[in-house]
């Protein structure tokens, strides 16, 4: 029995959900209105990550 799953949203959580479903044998489709990976890039996260290491 094959499983077909649609993931709404291509951010980090959507990608992880799709990856997990695919690893369990499902055919996965990601639907997103933004670029896959989410809207936050490393350049916008850098200052908060730097403060964590100080």
pTM above 0.75, yes or no: no
Please state, as a whole number, how many other Cβ atoms lie within 10 Å of the Cβ of residue 18: 20
- Every domain of the chain and the residues it spans: 4-53
Cα gap 2→22, rounded to integer Å: 11
Tens-digit pLDDT profile for residues 2-50: 899 999 999 888 999 999 999 999 999 999 988 887 766 555 555 555 5
CA distance 10 to 21: 14
Q: How confident is the model at residue 54 (pLDDT cuts 50, 70, 90)?
A: very low
């Amino acid at each position: 029995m094959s499983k077909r799953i649609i993931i709404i949203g291509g951010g980090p959580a959507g990608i992880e959900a799709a990856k997990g479903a695919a690893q369990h044998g499902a055919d996965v489709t990601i639907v997103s209105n933004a670029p896959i990976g989410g809207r936050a890039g490393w350049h916008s996260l850098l200052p908060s990550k730097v403060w964590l290491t100080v």
